[in-house]
Structure 1
Amino acid sequence: MARLFKFFRSKKPTDQSEEIFDTIEMATAVLLIEIARADFHQDEYEDKKIIELLEVHFSISHADAQSLFEEGQKKADDAVSLHEFT
């Protein structure tokens, strides 16, 4: 039993928090994309606004925000439901 407690205490929380941050970024991107698609019409203005929001909110470069948006679109296309992003 003591070995079990030692095992859980030895895990580094920083690795986990980094994964959560990446997950939060992706979930935010996917949910914003799905909101833009809700009216069955997604235009260039909405795409630019989503990229801008990602850039400002997460303090990332425009290129990183663009990349996050593109990856988010792929995940949104492949998603069966939004549950995994909430």
Structure 2
Amino acid sequence: RADFGKPIYINSGYRSPEHNKKVGGAVNSYHVKGQAADIRPRHGKDFEAELRRLKIIANRRCKGGVGFYPSFVHVDLGPERRWNG
């Protein structure tokens, strides 16, 4: 948030195992452990540019997992890894 300089919205944080299965989450999802969040910038005219900037910041600052998706960034406290979803 400090690096981004604007509010960051959380699409998904903790998920129960039932909800995680319902939304197609990974079996060993860090969401179920309370160690992950799917984040995004505010929706608006600059959404795509701000999402790109958020992806760069997450990639640089997050020591765990970072997944890049068309409308959000997944961050977690697992081992360091990167992927596109």
Length-normalised TM-score, structure 2: 0.32
The answer to which structure has the higher helix fraction is 1
Structure with bigger gyration radius: 1
The answer to which structure has the higher strand fraction is 2
Greater relative contact order, per chain length (Cα 8 Å cut-off, separation 6+)? 1
Length-normalised TM-score, structure 1: 0.31
